[in-house]
Amino acid sequence: MEPRKELPKRIGFWLNEKKCKKFNVPEFVEECRKKNMEVIKLLLHEPLQPQGPFDVILHKITPIYAQALDANQEACLLASAFEQYLLSVPSVPVVDPVPALHTLLHRPATYALLHAITAHDDQVMTPPYVELPDTNMRTKKQLLAQAGVTFPIVCKPVFGCGGTAAHELAVVLSASRLTEWQGPCVAQSFVQHGAVLYKLYVLGDAWHLVVRPSLKNFRATDAPTVHFNSSKVSKADSCSPLTQLDQSDRAMRHPQPDNSVFDRIVRTVRESLSMDLLGIDVVIDSSSGQYAIIDVNPFPSYDSIADLMPCFATLLFEKIQQRSCGHVLSASSINDLLPARGGRRQDSAGIDIPALLRARGHLPRLQCGEDSRTDDSHEGNSSPNTITQATYNTEDARSSAAAAGGEENSCIQTDSSSTTNSKICSSSGKKNTSCDSNSFTDRKSCSSSGKKESNYGENDATVTMNTMNAAHEKTLNGRYRKELSENKGCIENAVFQTNGINVTLSHDNGISERKKTCDAAAKNVINSTDIKQNTNGPANIIAQNGIIMTSNGKRSDSSGIFDESQSKNDLKSDQNAQLNIKCTNIASKCCYELDEMQNEVHHITNNTITDGITHSLKGCLYSDQCEDDCAGYAEKHSKCDAYCNLDLASHTEGSCSCSPACDVSKTNVLCTYSAGSPSAAGASSSQPYPSHVMSSVSSSSTLQQR
Ligand X SMILES: O=P(O)(O)O[C@H]1[C@H](O)[C@@H](O)[C@H](OP(=O)(O)O)[C@@H](OP(=O)(O)O)[C@H]1O
**What would the x/- binding string for ligand X be over residues 289 to 308, using CB under 6 A?**
--------x-xxx-x-----
- Tell me the one-letter amino acid at 28: F
* Shortest spacing between CB 338 and ligand ATP, in angstroms: 26
Q: Which is nearer to ligand ATP, 212 or 572 (CB)?
A: 212
Q: Which of ligand ATP, ligand X, none has residue 22 at its interface (CB below 5 to 8 Å by kind)?
A: ligand X
Q: Which is nearer to ligand X, 160 or 489 (CB)?
A: 160
Instruction: With beta carbons less than 8 A apart as the criterion, state whether 150 and 189 touch.
Output: yes
Q: Which is nearer to ligand X, 173 or 294 (CB)?
A: 294
Q: Which of ligand ATP, ligand X, none has residue 169 at its interface (CB below 5 to 8 Å by kind)?
A: ligand ATP
* Shortest spacing between CB 682 and ligand ATP, in angstroms: 11
* Shortest spacing between CB 284 and ligand ATP, in angstroms: 11
**What would the x/- binding string for ligand X be over residues 160 to 179, using CB under 6 A?**
-xx---x-------------
Query: Which residue among 279, 343, 369, 682 contacts ligand X (CB under 6 A)?
Result: 279
**What would the x/- binding string for ligand X be over residues 659 to 678, using CB under 6 A?**
--------------------
* Shortest spacing between CB 118 and ligand ATP, in angstroms: 14
* Shortest spacing between CB 275 and ligand ATP, in angstroms: 15
CA–CA distance, 312 with 683 (Å, rounded to integer): 37
Q: Which is nearer to ligand X, 22 or 479 (CB)?
A: 22
Q: Which is nearer to ligand X, 243 or 297 (CB)?
A: 297
> Which of positions 231-260 make contact with ligand X (CB under 6 A)?
235
Which window, 136-144, 159-167, 377-385, 658-666, contacts ligand X (CB under 6 A)? 159-167
Under 8 Å CB-to-CB from 251, ≥6 apart: which residues? none
Under 8 Å CB-to-CB from 125, ≥6 apart: which residues? 118, 290, 291, 292, 293, 682, 684, 685
**Are β-strands 411-415 and 389-392 bridged in parallel, bridged antiparallel, or unpaired?**
antiparallel
Region of 537 (left: φ > 0; alpha: ψ -120 to 50; beta: rest) is left
> Which of positions 39-98 make contact with ligand X (CB under 6 A)?
60, 62
Give the gyration radius of the chain's Cα atoms: 25
Tell me which residues touch ligand ATP (CB under 6 A): 127, 154, 156, 160, 167, 169, 188, 190-191, 193, 197, 214-215, 230-231, 233-234, 281, 283, 294-295, 297
CA dihedral 44, 49, 55, 58 (to 10 degrees): 10
Q: Which is nearer to ligand ATP, 126 or 573 (CB)?
A: 126
Q: Which of ligand X, ligand ATP, none has residue 291 at its interface (CB below 5 to 8 Å by kind)?
A: none
Strand positions, DSSP E, 441-589: 464-465, 495-498, 501-506, 542-544, 547-549
* Shortest spacing between CB 23 and ligand X, in angstroms: 8
Under 8 Å CB-to-CB from 307, ≥6 apart: which residues? none
Instruction: With beta carbons less than 8 A apart as the criterion, state whether 487 and 477 touch.
Output: no
Q: Which is nearer to ligand X, 305 or 561 (CB)?
A: 305
Q: Which is nearer to ligand X, 99 or 406 (CB)?
A: 99
* Shortest spacing between CB 706 and ligand ATP, in angstroms: 24
* Shortest spacing between CB 139 and ligand ATP, in angstroms: 22
Q: Which of ligand ATP, ligand X, none has residue 510 at its interface (CB below 5 to 8 Å by kind)?
A: none
* Shortest spacing between CB 127 and ligand ATP, in angstroms: 4
Q: Shortest CA distance to 580 belongs to which of 526, 620, 540, 543?
A: 540
* Shortest spacing between CB 229 and ligand ATP, in angstroms: 8
* Shortest spacing between CB 298 and ligand X, in angstroms: 7
Q: Which of ligand ATP, ligand X, none has residue 301 at its interface (CB below 5 to 8 Å by kind)?
A: ligand X
Q: Which of ligand ATP, ligand X, none has residue 19 at its interface (CB below 5 to 8 Å by kind)?
A: ligand X
Q: Which is nearer to ligand ATP, 114 or 646 (CB)?
A: 114
- Residues paired with 705 in a beta bridge: 206
**What would the x/- binding string for ligand X be over residues 7 to 46, using CB under 6 A?**
-----------xx--x------------------------
Q: Which secondary structure element, helix H or strand E, spans residue 425, and what is its range?
A: strand 422-425
**What would the x/- binding string for ligand X be over residues 193 to 222, using CB under 6 A?**
------x-----------------------
* Coil, helix or strand at residue 204: coil
Neighbours of 673 (CB within 10 A): 14
* Shortest spacing between CB 232 and ligand X, in angstroms: 11
Q: Shortest CA distance to 128 belongs to which of 113, 116, 140, 111?
A: 111
Neighbours of 248 (CB within 10 A): 8
CA–CA distance, 122 with 200 (Å, rounded to integer): 20
Instruction: With beta carbons less than 8 A apart as the criterion, state whether 195 and 260 touch.
Output: no
Q: Which of ligand X, ligand ATP, none has residue 233 at its interface (CB below 5 to 8 Å by kind)?
A: ligand ATP
User: DSSP string of 533-554?
Assistant: HTTT--TT-EEETTEEE-TT--
- Tell me the one-letter amino acid at 690: P
Q: Which of ligand X, ligand ATP, none has residue 580 at its interface (CB below 5 to 8 Å by kind)?
A: none
Binding to ligand X by residue 682, rule CB under 6 A?
no
* Shortest spacing between CB 233 and ligand ATP, in angstroms: 5
**Are β-strands 9-14 and 37-41 bridged in parallel, bridged antiparallel, or unpaired?**
parallel
Q: Which of ligand ATP, ligand X, none has residue 294 at its interface (CB below 5 to 8 Å by kind)?
A: ligand ATP
CA dihedral 216, 220, 223, 224 (to 10 degrees): 70
**Are β-strands 614-615 and 129-132 bridged in parallel, bridged antiparallel, or unpaired?**
unpaired
Neighbours of 635 (CB within 10 A): 9
* Shortest spacing between CB 24 and ligand X, in angstroms: 12
Under 8 Å CB-to-CB from 320, ≥6 apart: which residues? 9, 37, 55, 56, 93
Q: Which is nearer to ligand ATP, 234 or 534 (CB)?
A: 234
Q: Which is nearer to ligand ATP, 186 or 313 (CB)?
A: 186
Q: Which of ligand ATP, ligand X, none has residue 434 at its interface (CB below 5 to 8 Å by kind)?
A: none
- Residue 5, class by beta-carbon neighbours within 10 Å (0-12 exposed, 13-18 middle, 19+ buried)? exposed
Residue 64: how many CA atoms within 13 Å on its side-chain side?
22
How many residues make contact with ligand X (CB under 6 A)? 16
* Residue 8: DSSP 8-state: P
Q: Which of ligand ATP, ligand X, none has residue 190 at its interface (CB below 5 to 8 Å by kind)?
A: ligand ATP
Query: How would you list the strands of the sheet with 9-14, edge to edge?
Result: 37-41, 9-14, 56-59, 94-95
Q: Which of ligand ATP, ligand X, none has residue 634 at its interface (CB below 5 to 8 Å by kind)?
A: none
Instruction: With beta carbons less than 8 A apart as the criterion, state whether 531 and 571 touch.
Output: yes
Tell me which residues touch ligand X (CB under 6 A).
18-19, 22, 60, 62, 161-162, 166, 199, 235, 279, 297, 299-301, 303
